[in-house]
Structures are given as C-alpha cells and as structure tokens.
C-alpha cells in the first residue's frame, strides 16, 4: 500500500496525480486497499473483478461519491439516480437511442462538422479541445432537443467547464456544508448552475408553450407519464435529464476526439493510413451513416484513442451490502474503484500497451474486448452508457468529415498533460494547426 498522509489518508496523494496514483496502486495486486479521508476504498484491477462489480453483483452497489455529489449540479438524472427510478428513466429514454433515431441524428452530426470544416482556414491555429466541445454541444442540442444552441454554445461550454473544474470542491470532506458558505468556489459554482438552468429551462418552456411533439427526446420527456399514477414529469425532472445528457452527450465525445487528433499528430504513419481510408471511402464527399461499416480503420483509431485516454477514466461504486471478492470483505459504505485508464494500459492484457496501435483492433473487435472486460470506456452492466451507439457514430463521422479536408498538427512547445476530473481533459488545452489536404 502506498503510504497515507496523516490527514485525509491517501486522498491528497490521489488528488495530486490521480491516474499515476492508481497506476502505482495496481502494481500492488489485483485488489488493494486504501483510505480516502474516512472512507475505506478497494481498488480493483482485473477483468473478472470488474465484471463481478459492474455486471454480476451490480445490485449490491450504487454510484460512488463523485456521482452522488454531482446531483448538486445534475439533479436526479439518468447518470445519478439509482434503483427503480433509474430503470424507469432508462426505459423512457432508450427509444431516443434506437438505431433508426441515430440514423436521423447522423445527418445533423455531419452538417455541423462540415460547417466547422468550412470555417477553418489553412495555416490557422485553433484550440481543438474548445472547438470539439463547441461542435459536440451543438450536436447534442440539435439531435436530442431540436434546439439550436449555437448562440448559447459558448455560454453553456463555459458554465460546463466551470462546473467540471469545481468538481474537486464538491468532493472535499464536508463539502455539503462548504458549498452553502460564501466561498469563491461556491459562488462560481452557483453562478454557472444558474446559467445552465436559464438556458435549459428556456428550451423546456418554449417547447411547452408550443405544445408541439417534434419526436425528439425532449418531446418524449414532456409527454411521458408515470405508469403508476399517470402523472407527467415536472419541469425540474425534465431539466435534470436534459442537463445530464447535455453534459454526458458532449463532454465525453469532445475529449475523445481531442485526444484522437493529438495521437494522430504524433503518429504520422497511422495518420497517413487514416487519411488514405477516408479518401478511398468518401472520394471527396461528406460521409453518411452508410459509410460507417467501411470506415474500419477510422473506428480502430477512435477505439485505440479511447483505450489510451478513456473519457471516463475511473468508475466508482459504493457497497450497499457486504460483498466478498478474492478473499477480501467490503462492508456497506466501502468504495470500490476501478479504472479503464489503468486496465487499458495493463501489459497482461495488451501487447505494447502504451503504444498507439489501431491495428490491434484488426485481430480483436471492440465487442470482444468488452466481453472480456479488458476494455470498458463506456462502463458496464445495467449502468453502461445509454448513448454508446450514438457516441461511436458521432466520433467516426466527425473524424471523417473533418479529416476529409484537414490535417491537424500539434503546435510545438506545448505542455501536454492529462487533467483527470469527471472526464479526462487535456490540462493545458490542445492547440493545433490546420493544413488543407485538398491543395
């Protein structure tokens, strides 16, 4: 066990270098014990144990403290709710992610990506992390809520970034009381939350006034009725679901794309193969959903990027009843922590685990690696990400649409580091230079 601090146990060391800390913890064995403040924690790092917690015995666990505390900003949405309420919400939202719906969404994905492609200029430098956030935010606003959030995208993005960056504050011991005090962090947090509420409630109110069923997720939420008493969802309940999907539906994909552009820029041979596939499949036109099965190397590039830089880099579960595994006993209230970031880089399960090698996905598919529980960027079990199919289609199509015309090169002299928060962001951003491939 790594040496704990006198105050807070291992919490301070974990906060200073989260992915590094868990990587070192994994060297101690498949199961290791630590304490974060007063909470006992088991860190697990074996696919059988991940399956045990996320799939086989999922009923013994609820989301960890991180997502429990995120209710302060997301409310009781799909990401944070538990038990029967979560299952009811999932059943209600699931139709929005059926294949036929995703096929409709892909047209908006490509349209917005093509608009961004047309706005770029040869030789210009862009903050690609911010550009991807802006793009995916517009897409989730249009596809799930039929809302044009272009004018509000920057406001939403800044507020989301504020909430994500202040998430550490929410995880502090006694933060339930600290957030009620007039600290700068709590003031900034409340201001960002008010901004998001203003925008989301505005979208909800406009739809309620129109009374129009547009066949999107927002209409489904507004028209939904409780099976037991026939009651409709309140505006607050709709807000919680909308805000959850705004965050989950754009933050994770934007980060995955940002790290993908970075990895391609650092691996010229892989980048050339990626561009060659896009040229051969598309022949200069924009992609459609029908092209996805032919963009196999593009899919492998995205899969490999999420292996090395999974947006959801750690997954926590709190035990609600005693659970035993590998000779260890976790009593109720124990946090069980697993990490896709660490598992995806474990040499026991991956050849040359630190290398960016999309070709590895030619000998094993994503589904197979997921079934083996060595690859789980979207989680697992009943809490597996509901938008996984949406994210794969979006990631592949946005990469193909933008790379059809542009090659992105990392601006020299940057410090590239990870910033593990709710998601795995680049710590100092990602500035890249656009080079026109059509010249």
The pLDDT of residue 7:
42
Place 407 in a pLDDT band, splitting at 50, 70 and 90.
very high
* Token pair in block for residue 335: 């946090």
Of 205 and 290, the structure prediction assigns the larger pLDDT to: 290
The pLDDT of residue 373:
95
Place 73 in a pLDDT band, splitting at 50, 70 and 90.
low
Task: For the chain, give the mean pLDDT.
Answer: 87
Q: Is pLDDT above 90 for 91?
A: no
For 300, counting Cβ atoms within 10 Å of its Cβ (0-12 exposed, 13-18 middle, 19+ buried), the class is: buried
| 33-42, 127-136, 304-313: range with lowest mean pLDDT | 33-42
- CB count, 10 Å around CB of 275? 18
pLDDT in tens, 35-66: 887 889 999 999 999 999 999 999 998 876 66
On whether the CB atoms of residues 115 and 108 are closer than 8 A, the answer is: no
The pLDDT of residue 221:
82
The pLDDT of residue 6:
40
pLDDT in tens, 199-242: 889 888 888 888 888 878 888 888 876 666 666 778 888 888 88
Q: Is pLDDT above 60 for 173?
A: no
Which residue, 407, 139, 418, is CA-closest to 259?
418
DSSP 53: I
Place 72 in a pLDDT band, splitting at 50, 70 and 90.
low
Place 8 in a pLDDT band, splitting at 50, 70 and 90.
very low
On whether the CB atoms of residues 269 and 260 are closer than 8 A, the answer is: no
CA–CA dist 229, 225 (Å, integer): 8
Of 401 and 382, the structure prediction assigns the larger pLDDT to: 401
The pLDDT of residue 35:
85
Report CA-CA distances (Å) from 133 to 137, 152, 160, 243: 6, 13, 10, 15
Place 177 in a pLDDT band, splitting at 50, 70 and 90.
low
For 79, counting Cβ atoms within 10 Å of its Cβ (0-12 exposed, 13-18 middle, 19+ buried), the class is: buried
User: What percent of the chain has pLDDT above 70?
Assistant: 87
Place 171 in a pLDDT band, splitting at 50, 70 and 90.
low
Q: Is pLDDT above 60 for 22?
A: yes
Q: Quickly list H helices, 211-234.
A: 217-223
| 103-117, 220-234, 278-292: range with lowest mean pLDDT | 220-234
Question: Could you please report the per-residue DSSP string of 104-171?
Answer: HHHHHHHHHHHHHHHH--TT-EEEHHHHHHHHHHHHHHHHHH----TTTHHHHHHHHHHHHHTHHHHH
The pLDDT of residue 172:
58
**Beta strands at 406-410 and 431-436: parallel, antiparallel or unpaired:** antiparallel
Domains of the chain by start residue, with CATH: 11-436 (1.10.630.10)
Which residue, 51, 9, 17, is CA-closest to 33?
9
Q: What is the pTM of this model?
A: 0.90
* Token pair in block for residue 337: 């922590």
The pLDDT of residue 66:
60
For residues 136, 140, 142 and 145, what is the CA-based torsion angle, rounded to 10 degrees? -160
| 59-68, 256-265, 331-340: range with lowest mean pLDDT | 59-68
Taking residues 177-196, report their average pLDDT. Answer: 75
The pLDDT of residue 439:
61
Q: Is pLDDT above 90 for 145?
A: no
Place 181 in a pLDDT band, splitting at 50, 70 and 90.
low
């Amino acid at each position: 066990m790594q040496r704990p601090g006198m105050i807070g146990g291992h919490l301070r060391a974990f906060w200073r270098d989260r992915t590094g800390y868990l990587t070192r913890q994994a060297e101690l064995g498949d199961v290791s014990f630590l304490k974060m403040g007063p909470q006992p924690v088991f860190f697990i790092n074996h696919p059988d144990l991940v399956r045990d917690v996320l799939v086989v015995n999922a009923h013994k666990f609820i989301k960890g403290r991180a997502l429990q505390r995120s209710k302060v900003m997301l409310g009781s949405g799909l990401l944070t709710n538990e038990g029967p309420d979560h299952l009811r919400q999932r059943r209600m939202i699931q139709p929005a992610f059926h294949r036929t719906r995703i096929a409709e969404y892909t047209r908006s994905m490509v349209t917005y990506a093509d608009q961004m492609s047309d706005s770029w200029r040869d030789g210009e430098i862009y903050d690609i992390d911010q550009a991807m956030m802006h793009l995916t935010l517009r897409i989730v606003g249009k596809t799930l809520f039929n809302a044009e959030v272009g004018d509000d995208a920057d406001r939403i993005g800044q507020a989301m970034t504020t909430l994500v960056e202040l998430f550490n504050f929410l995880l502090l011991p006694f933060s339930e009381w600290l957030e009620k005090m007039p600290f700068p962090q709590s003031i900034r947090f409340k201001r960002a939350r008010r901004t998001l509420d203003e925008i989301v409630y505005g979208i909800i109110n406009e739809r309620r006034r129109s009374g129009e069923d547009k066949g999107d997720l927002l209409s489904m939420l507004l028209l939904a009725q409780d099976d037991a008493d026939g009651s409709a969802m309140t505006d607050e309940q709709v807000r919680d679901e909308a805000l959850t999907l705004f965050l989950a539906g754009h933050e994770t994909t934007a980060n995955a794309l940002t790290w993908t552009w970075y990895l391609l820029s650092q691996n010229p041979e892989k980048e050339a193969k990626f561009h060659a596939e896009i040229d051969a499949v598309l022949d200069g036109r924009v992609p459609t959903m029908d092209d996805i099965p032919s963009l196999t190397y593009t899919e492998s590039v995205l899969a490999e990027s999420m292996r090395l830089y999974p947006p959801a880099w750690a997954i926590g579960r709190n035990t609600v009843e005693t659970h035993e595994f590998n000779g260890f006993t976790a009593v109720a209230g124990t946090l069980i922590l697993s990490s896709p970031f660490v598992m995806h880089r474990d040499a026991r399960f991956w050849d040359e685990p630190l290398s960016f090698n999309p070709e590895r996905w030619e000998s094993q598919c994503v589904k197979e690696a997921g079934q083996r529980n060595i690859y789980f960027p979207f989680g697992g079990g009943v809490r597996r990400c509901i938008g996984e199919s949406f994210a794969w289609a979006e990631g592949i199509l946005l990469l193909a649409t933008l790379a059809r015309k542009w090659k992105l090169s990392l601006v020299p002299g940057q410090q590239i580091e990870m910033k593990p928060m709710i998601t795995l962001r680049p710590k100092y951003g990602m500035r890249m230079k656009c080079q026109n491939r059509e010249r």
